[in-house]
Structures are given as structure tokens and as C-alpha cells.
Amino acid sequence: MNSLKSLETTFIEAFDKDLGLLPSDTADVWTASRRQAIRSFADAGFPKRKSEAYKYTPVTKWMSEPPALQSSKPVSALHLPFSALEGVHLKTVNGQLSSPPDHLPTGLTISTLRAALETHPELVRGHLDRLSSGSAGDAFSTLAAAFAPDGLFIHVAKGTVLDAPIYIHHASVSPDALVQPRMLVTAAENSEAFVVEHLPETGAGAVFENRIVDVNVARRARLRHLVVYERGSQARFVNSLHAHQLDESVFSTNNITLGGALVRNNLHVVPDGEHCETHLNGLYIAQGGSHVDNHTLVDHVKPNCFSNELFKGIVEGGSTGVFNGKVMVRQDAQKINAYQSSKSIVLDDTSHVYAKPELEIYADDVRCSHGATTGELDDDALFYLRSRGIPPRQARVILLEAFARDVVELIPLDEVRTYLNTRIGELLAD
Amino acid sequence: MSTEYLQEVADADYKYGFVTEIESDKAAIGLDESTVRYISAKKKEPEWLLEWRLKALDHFLGLLEKNEKPEWAHLAIRDIDFQSISYYSAPKKKPQLDSLDEVDPQLIDTFNKLGIPLMEQKRLAGVAVDVVMDSVSVTTTFKKELREKGIIFCSFGEAVQEHPELVRKYLGSVVPRTDNFYAALNSAVFSDGSFCYIPKGVRCPMELSTYFRINEAGTGQFERTLIIADEGSYVSYLEGCTAPMRDENQLHAAVVEIIAHEEAEVKYSTIQNWYPGSADGRGGVYNFVTKRGICEGRGSKISWTQLETGSAITWKYPSVILKGDDSVGEFYSVAFTKGHQQADTGTKMIHIGKNTTSTIISKGISGGQSQNAYRGLVKINRGAKGARNFSQCDSMLLGDRCGAHTFPYLEINNPTAQVEHEATTSKVGEDQIFYCQQRGISETDAIKLIVNGFCKEILAKLPMEFAVEARNLLAIELEGSVG
């Protein structure tokens, strides 16, 4: 408890020192927002020991070794499996846009957030206000909002339909340091886009990335989102995604976690319009003592919406998997269909799975359900494969791959699917 | 339309709201060491029990001082002033009763009004009843017949006097006095309750039943039930409760402990019908209950069945610790809330032994402006090889101003465990109502039929006598909230 308190103080003091480098002009919206964010952080503090939201992932676990705030070291060449695929490719270093692409399809804007403050002030202002006020998101979000020097801005203009995905390759060059990136993706009316984010292994050791992704999906827009996390076995990652949807929009996010020592996905979607469709999917493979926590909230505030969630996990080698998903249906948000499913496989008795699938319903004309299962591999299925001459090890891998494939199959990109299936096969065969 | 009918169901009156004028002994208002000493002296308790109580009091006051009330439940609880309650109230005329004929006729009348005709039941030889009014056990029927079998069924106070070795051995062994805020309070000030011991290999020939009633104003009821089923025995235990209508909130904090030894089986059924408060949310009983059983021996079984229709606030999680290998835990629940009632109820199944099995089936029905939450934990410990759990939690909403919530916790630490949980939330289907109406069934009856069908699985688990009462109760409850 005390150590958390002192950690909070460290951050606040570091911010004050850091702020000395920023222009003190209060008319600067960006700086003012960052100042506001650190105040919100100071007010709320890190989630306490008894916090329900962090019940199975105590913050002290994240912060047992406080990360350095700055550090930089060159890293080895990155392996970027998606770089040859058709689409727009962006690279970020520590969350900052490193090389803006020279050619962009019409209707697509990519810039830094500070630059976008000039070009799309109303969009960026909303994003800044939401985060700095601390009313949405927890201490990790406000902390990132305070420290991120700049961010990434992606805007798909009204009516623009992008044929190919936008790939973002995130590099991290600060071993053992705390990196706090932020990103805003906005899809305007009737637009359509697919954002694929890849966080490969970069050899950056125990890097701690605490990031914010804000998504706005306007009326009748369709936005797909995929995150593939493959950082090294010491890396830590807090991924706070907040999506806001308007009437008749479709939003889907798929979070594939294949690496890291500690991963927390905070996925928070508000379908704030009628006839919205929302999909939240995820797959994680937790090995070698790692800890993966998927925390989701679908907050139905308007009637006539549909949402579906599927999370699957394989846990082994003293690892822990957590799924805490909540479906909330507010008063008068009638005719909601909301489904949620969480399935996990535990492979040995040193590993743990904690599931907390919740429903909080305040409207009567709804259909909501959730299901959660945890178990080991089906003996009958193993026997079936073995009776056909498949050795036990291989039979096990076949079954696990099949289990994982349910989530991978939802990705509408052949090359990405193939890559992931191969990677999953490698991880499980080890 | 159906919604109007449902609205009306939500406004039904409480049938058991009368007050009986019975003279009583009350402890002075407030809680400190002297209160506990007063209760203990009244009950002529041995020194060790007084000490046990005082330790619990110390713990409770410590928690109270740090304001460590449990706040995690989905409940809005008005601040309770624990110093403004009288912690002991007993009907004054309390002679040692040998037969029912000696019971205060006023009391008999009270229980007749409640639909528990003690005399009649005596004749029918159906159920042995222990009646607890305010804090004190008033009468126990069928004692003689039970004694022949070696079964001990008496008030807790009597058990302390007559079987101190059993009480001392088991009291607090399942729910320790420091277990939680309300259990600590109960441990300090519990007044009476039921005690039951089934010896080795005995199958209890009749249902054992306790009826609880809060009568006196400004009092709390803190009873404690202890059930011990020795090797290979079987008992089915029923519990019912009512309270008069009063404007202020009354506090009820009970503890139930069950110990099932090897191959023993205990079936515990509750119909909880404390006063739920008026239609606009005034008064009603605050029901904070800790119920827990331990399957101590191999192959033992504990089964909880509950119908929760009363109380302004229900905070109750009947649990089973599955310690013995091959032991079985079950939880079947129907929780019905209407008006301004709030319920946060569920269970905990803690799997410790090998090849242990648990089943949870919970049905929540909410109407009016009520909030009804299921909260349950399934925990598979590392050594619980081959553990199996199935949970199903369904909620039904009868209006658009109420809430139905599900908060399950699944903690799995063994790879061989199989845990499944499912939950659904929906309203009474318009197509179902239409189907019934088409066949000449009125809308009101159709809704009753559908709600009854929704709960059937659970009601079927209740012992016969209770099942009828439960069905009637549910119908009466619906009467006011659908209509």
C-alpha cells in the first residue's frame, strides 16, 4: 500500500520535473490537458488492494520493480511479418510516429495527435477531455494521458471505404522503461476501415507499455481492429481501449496475446446509438509464469443493439489467465441482444484461471447470456486421435490449435491467419 | 397489457405483517461488553462461551471502528446504527415446556396465523418444529420421538446446557467468529437458534423445521443454527421466517453451520419471507446471513435450497466447503424481489477434496424497482483433482425499472477440473403469453404459469410440505407484482 503511494508520488514528481521542459503557456491545449490528467491521477491513485477491477491482478504485482521513466537504447532489427502485405504501413517507435507514409489513399489522414489538434480540433479535443478528466478509464489511462509527449492520429473521412488494412508496426526501443503511448482512431460517417496493430518481440527486455487507444465510430461506419501482441517474456503491457459508437455502426476488436510477462487488456465499448453492432474477441496463450488479464465492458446505453464476446485462453507453466467481462444494459436500453463466452484450458496444476463473467441489466426486454467453461483437454478426443496413430504430444497440439482457431478464424486476412496459426503451433509445441 | 399486470404483481401486500402482543424481556439498547454479559447470564451460559462471545465482540467493535463493513455487494444500504438496537428480546412467559399444550395460547395463535399449525402438525406426525420468536426458541415439537432414535433437536440454549461437549467442539468450526462483519456480530450477541445432531447411521424419520419470527419492535434477531450429521446419517431441515410490518428497518444477522461427516447427507431448505418493507420502500428487514456447511468426510453431501421472497435487503451466500473426497455440494435458489427490495445472494463452492462435485442453479425474478443479483464463487483448489462444477443462473425481469445482475467468480487452480457456468437474462416472453391466451388462459394466469415454470426446477427440490407453501407464496407474491 505504502509502496503504491510512494510510486504515485514518484510519478507526480517526475511529471512536475518533466513539465519544466514544456512550454508553460496555458493556452496550449495539449499541455493543459496533460496537467489536468496528472491531477486526475493524483486524485484517484492506483487501484487499491481491494479494488474489484484489479482483484486478480494486483497493481503491486505490476509495480514490484518500478519501471524507469526514460531510457533508450538501439534495438536489433525487427521481425515484421506483416510488412509485405497490401495496405498502408506505419511504424512507431515508443508510440511516436517514426516515418509517415508518403502516399495515403484519399480520405485517410495520419498524423501526430498534436498536429491533428490543428487539423481536426473537435475530434482531438473530445479525446483529450475524456481522458484528462479521469471520468473514464482508470489510473493507468490518466497516467498515460499525462505522460504521452504526443500520439498517433488516424482519421477515415466521411464515406471513405479503405480496401486494404492499415498496419501499424509498434517498436519499442526502451529496455526496462515505462513507455506511455496514445492513439486516436476516428471513423467518420459511412466509412469503413481495418486497423491491424502488431507489437513484435523487440528485445527491449522488461519494457512496460501503458497505452491508450481511443476509437470513435460514427453513424453507419464500420471499423475493424486487431492487436497482435508478441513482446518478449519479460515485457509488461496495459492496453486501455475505449470505443464509442454511434447509430448503426459496427465495431470489432480482436486481441491476440502471445507474449509478455504481464498483460492487461482493458476493453471498454459504449454503443451509444441505436442498431449498433459490437464484437469483442480475444485469444491468449499464457506460458512460463506469465499473467494475462482481459477485462471487458460493453455498456449498452441505447436500445436495439447487438454485442457478442468470445475470449479463449490456454494457460500453462505456472501462468495465470483472467477474464472479467461485464455486459451492462442501462435503463430503457430495450431490445438488446448481448452474448458473452469465455473458455479456457488449464494444462498443469501450477497454473490458474480466474473468470468473472458479469451481467448487469436494468431493462427488461433484453436477451443476454454468458457462458464460461474451464477444463483440461478432452480425454475422448485425445484417445480418438491416438487410436489413429497420432502420438500423444502431437494429438495435444492438434486439439489446442483447434481450440485457438475459433478466434483466429474471425480475422478476415488470410496471411495474418496463416502467420498466427503457425506461431500458435510453435508456441504450443514447445 | 402484460406490463400492467406485472406492475400490479409488484405491489402485493405482505400477509404476515401483524404484531402479537406478547410481553417480553428486552436488553437495554446498545452494544458493549455488558450487553454480551447480560445475554450470556440470561442464558446461564458456561464461562467458555461467554469468553468466546467477548472475543467476537472485540473483533466486531474493531471492525465497526474501522468502518470495515462489507461494501462489495450490489446493495444500497442505509447506515445502520448498531448502538440503537436492542440485542435481546424474549417472550416473558417462558416456562420449561413439556408439551405443546402448555404453550402460551397467544403464541400458538401467532403461528396458526402464519400457517404453521403446531398442533395439527403434531397430529399429522409430519414435521418436528422448533419455533424461535424474537431471540428465543419457544417450543420444539416431537422431542421424544426423536430422542428414541438418538437424534438431538432442541434450541441452541438447551444444547449449551445439555450437550456442551458437542456445542464446544463444533461452534465456530465452519463459520469462525472472525469470519465476517455480520458473523462476528452474531457470534457476540446470538441469542438462540436450533441445534441438531444426528448420530451415526441414523436416517432422521421426519423433516426438522425451525420457524423464526421477529416480533418485538426495535430489536434485532441473531440466531445461530448448528447441524451435525454424523457418519452415514441423513436429515432434511427446513427453515421459515416472517416478521411484522414496521416502519423502521429491523436487523437480522444469523449464522448457520452444518457439518456432514463421512457419507452423511444434509438437505437444508429455507423459505425466507421477512417483511420486505412498504411499497414505497419504508421499513423492512435487513437480512445479513452467513450460512456455510462443510462436507468433512468422504462421500458426504450438503444441499441448500432457498426461496427468497422477503426482506428489504438480502445478503446471503449459503456455501459448501467440499473437503472430503467424493463429496457433493448443491445450491438451488429462487430469489424474487419486488417493490424496493434489494437482494445480493448466491453461493460459494470451495472444492478441496478429490472428485468433488457441485451444482448451482439460481433463478432470479425481479419486479417493481427492485435489484436482484446473483453472486457466487466456485473455487477449485490445487489439490482438488477431478472436481466438477455446473452453474446456471437465469434471471427474469418483470418490469423496466428493476435490475437483474449476475456476478459469478470462477477460480480454477487444477487442470483436471471441469467448470461450466451459464447465465441468461430475459423477460416473460410475449409469444409465451400469447400462446397461453390463445388457449383461453387469462394473461394473469399465463404469467403465473410461466413464472412457476421458470422456478419449477428449484421448487421441485423442496420437501413436499414446503413445496406447496412455496408455490402458494410465489403465487401471492406475483399477485401483487403482476396483475
User: What does the domain layout of chain A look like in residue ranges?
Assistant: 2-273, 379-430
* Residue B97 pLDDT exceeds 50: no
Evaluate the CA torsion angle B98, B104, B108, B111 in order and state its sign: negative
Residues, chain A, total?
430
Average pLDDT of chain B to the nearest whole number:
82
Smallest Cβ–Cβ distance between A363 and the set B400, B413, B421 belongs to B400
Tally C-beta pairs within 8 A across A and B.
116
A55: closest chain B residue by CA: B409
Cβ-defined contact of B426 to A368 (cutoff 8 Å): yes
Q: How confident is the model at residue A128 (pLDDT cuts 50, 70, 90)?
A: confident
pLDDT tens profile B25-79: 677 788 889 999 998 998 889 999 999 999 999 999 999 998 888 888 888 888 8
Does residue A335 belong to the interface with chain B, where contact is any CB pair within 8 Å? no
Q: Using CA atoms, how far apart are residues B351 and A177, in angstroms rounded to an integer?
A: 41
Please judge whether A375 and B414 are an interchain contact, meaning their C-beta atoms are less than 8 angstroms apart: no
pLDDT category of residue A257 using cuts at 50, 70 and 90: very high
By Cβ distance, the residue of B408, B418, B422 closest to A375 is: B418
The verdict on A371 touching B (C-beta cutoff 8 Å) is: yes
CB contact under 8 A, A352 and B415: no
The Cα-based distances of A213 to A195, A241, A407, B217 in angstroms read: 12, 5, 22, 57
* Facing residue for B423 by CB, picked from A52, A359, A366: A359
Q: How confident is the model at residue B311 (pLDDT cuts 50, 70, 90)?
A: confident
Closest-CA residue in chain B for A372? B421
Max mean pLDDT among A34-48, B46-60, B230-244, B420-434 falls in B46-60
Contact A353 B406 (CB under 8 A): no
Q: How close B414 gets to chain A, by Cα (Å)? A: 5
Residue length of chain B: 483
Please compute the mean of the pLDDT values over residues B363-378 and round it to a whole number.
92
Residue B221's nearest CA partner among B44, B379, B26, B412 is: B26
Q: Which residue of B has its CA nearest to A348?
A: B415
Is the minimum CB–CB distance between A331 and chain B shorter than 8 Å? yes
Does the beta carbon of A355 lie under 8 angstroms from any beta carbon of chain B?
A: yes
**Coil/strand/helix, residue B388:** strand
Per CB-CB distance under 8 Å, the chain B contacts of A365 are 400, 427
Type of residue at B141: T
**CA of B38 vs chain A CAs: smallest distance (Å):** 37
Q: Read off the pLDDT of each residue in B344-368 and give the average, rounded to a whole number.
A: 95
Residue carrying C-alpha cell 456442551: B164
Q: What is the mean pLDDT of the segment spanning B120-136?
A: 51
* CA distance linking residue A329 with residue A336, whole number of Å: 8
Verify whether the Cβ–Cβ distance B427 to A365 is below 8 Å.
yes
Q: How confident is the model at residue B359 (pLDDT cuts 50, 70, 90)?
A: very high
pLDDT of residue B248 exceeding 80, the answer is no
What proportion of chain B, given as a percentage, has pLDDT over 90?
45
Q: What is the pLDDT of residue A137?
A: 66
Q: Is B446's pLDDT higher than 70?
A: yes
| 3-class secondary structure per residue, chain A | CHHHHHHHHHHHHHHHHHHCCCCCCCCCHHHHHHHHHHHHHHHHCCCCCCCHHHCCCCHHHHCCCCCECCCCCCCCCCCCCCCCCCCEEEEEECCEECCCCCCCCCCEEEEEHHHHHHHCHHHHHHHHHHHHCCCCCCHHHHHHHHHCCCCEEEEECCCCECCCCEEEEEECCCCCEEECCEEEEEECCCCEEEEEEEECCCCCCCCEEEEEEEEEECCCCEEEEEEEECCCCCCEEEEEEEEEECCCCEEEEEEEECCCCEEEEEEEEEECCCCCEEEEEEEEEECCCCEEEEEEEEEECCCCCEEEEEEEEEECCCCEEEEEEEEEECCCCCCCEEEEEEEEEECCCCCEEEEEEEEEECCCCCEEEEEEEEECCCHHHHHHHHHCCCCHHHHHHHHHHHHHHHHHCCCCCHHHHHHHHHHHHHHHHC
In chain B, the largest separation of any two C-alpha atoms, in whole Å, equals 69
Which pLDDT belongs to residue B122? 46
* Closest-approach residue (CA) in chain B for A335: B426
Q: Using the beta-carbon criterion (under 8 Å), do A374 and B410 form an inter-chain contact?
A: yes
3-state SS assignment for residue B475: helix
Residue with cell 390463445: B438
B398/A364 touch (CB, cutoff 8 Å), yes or no: yes
Q: Which of B409, B413, B422 sits opposite A371 (nearest CB)?
A: B422
Position A198 scores a pLDDT of: 95
Q: Which of residues B19 and A291 earns the better pLDDT score?
A: A291
Q: Dump pLDDT digits (tens) for B160-181.
A: 999 999 999 999 999 999 999 9
CA angle A296, A299, A301 (to 5 degrees): 175
Residues of chain B found within 8 Å of residue A368, distances taken between Cβ atoms: 424-426
Closest CB to B406 among A334, A348, A359: A359
| Pairwise CB contact (< 8 Å): A365 & B422 | no
Q: Is B161 on the interface with A (CB under 8 A)?
A: no
Which one of A362, A365, A374 has the shortest CB-CB distance to B417? A374
Residues of B in contact with A359 (CB under 8 A): 395, 404-406, 423, 425
pLDDT category, A12, cuts 50, 70, 90?
confident
pLDDT of amino acid B250: 81
| Chain A residues inside the 8 Å CB shell of B76 | none
Judged by average pLDDT, the poorest of A290-299, B107-116, B357-366 is B107-116
Please state the separation of Cα B129 from the chain's center in Å.
Answer: 16
**Residues of A with CB below 8 A from B422's CB?**
369-372
Select from B400, B402, B482 the residue whose CB has the most chain A CBs within 10 Å, as the one to mutate to test that interface: B400
Report the gap between the CA of A107 and the closest CA in chain B (Å).
43
How close is the nearest chain A Cα to the Cα of B398, in Å? 7
Please name the residue of chain A whose CA is at the shortest distance from the CA of residue B6: A364
Whether residue A49 lies within 8 A of chain B, CB to CB, comes out as: no
- Check residues A272 and B213 and name the one with the higher pLDDT: A272
Task: Please work out, in degrees rounded to the nearest 5, the angle formed at the alpha carbon of residue A92 by the alpha carbons of A71 and A178.
Answer: 30
Q: How far apart are CA A297 and CA A269, in angstroms?
A: 6
> Are A346 and B407 inside 8 Å of each other by CB?
no
B4–chain A Cβ distance below 8 A for any pair: no
- Contact of A367 with chain B, judged by CB distance below 8 Å, is answered with yes
Find the residue in B nearest to A354 (Cα): B411
- Beta-carbon separation of B425 and A351 below 8 A: no
The torsion region of residue B84 among left (phi > 0), alpha (psi -120 to 50) and beta comes to alpha
Residues of chain A positioned with their CB less than 8 A from the CB of B424: 367-369
Facing B415 at nearest CB: one of A349, A368, A370 = A349
SS3 B385: coil
Domain spans of chain B? 2-481
Report the range of poorest mean pLDDT among A126-130, B14-18, B420-424, B435-439.
B14-18
- Residue B81 has a pLDDT of 86
Please report residues of B whose CB lies closer than 8 A to that of A354.
409-412
A369-420 per-position pLDDT tens digit: 999 999 888 889 999 999 999 999 999 999 999 999 999 999 999 999 999 9
- pTM for this predicted structure: 0.87
Q: What is the pLDDT of residue A322?
A: 96
Provide the pLDDT for residue B1. Answer: 37
Banded model confidence at residue A50, pLDDT cuts 50, 70, 90:
confident
- As a whole number of angstroms, the distance between CA A91 and CA A166 comes to 11
Cβ separation A358–B424 shorter than 8 A: no
Instruction: Using CB atoms, pick whichever of A353, A363, A371 lies closest to residue B421.
Output: A371
CA distance A337 to A314: 28
Task: List B377's β-bridge partners, or say none.
Answer: B348, B409
Residues 35-94, chain B, touching A (beta carbon < 8 A): 72, 74
Stronger pLDDT, B350 or B122, i.e. the higher one: B350
Helices (H) and strands (E) in chain B — how many of each?
A: 12, 23
- Residue B2's pLDDT is 43
Q: In A, which residues are within 8 Å of B402 by CB distance?
A: 362, 364
Distance (Å, whole) CA B144 – CA B150:
10
The answer for residues whose C-beta is within 8 angstroms of residue B51's C-beta and 6 or more apart is none
Angle at A356 between CA A353 and CA A357, to 5 degrees: 125
Interface contact flag, A358 B405, Cβ < 8 Å = yes
Instruction: Report the gap between the CA of A300 and the closest CA in chain B (Å).
Output: 14
- For chain A, say whether B416 makes contact (Cβ under 8 Å): yes
Which of these ranges, A55-64, A65-74, A265-274, B276-285, has the smallest mean pLDDT? A65-74
**Which residue, among B357, B406, B416, B433, would best test binding to A if mutated, counting the most A CBs under 10 Å from its CB?**
B406
A356 to B409: CB separation less than 8 angstroms, yes or no:
yes
Q: Evaluate whether B312 touches B279 at the Cβ level (below 8 Å).
A: no
CA distances for B20 relative to A30, B134, B405, angstroms = 70, 11, 37
- Between residues A94 and B314, which one has the greater pLDDT? B314
- Say whether A358 and B408 touch across the interface (CB within 8 A): yes
Identify the top-confidence range among A96-105, B88-97, B149-158, B159-168.
B159-168
How far is A372 from chain B, CA to nearest CA, in Å?
A: 5
Burial zone of A214 (CB within 10 Å; 0-12 exposed, 13-18 middle, 19+ buried): buried
State the pLDDT at residue B113.
58
Measured distance CA(B29)–CA(B83) in Å, rounded: 7
The strand pairing partners of B192, in sequence order, are: B223
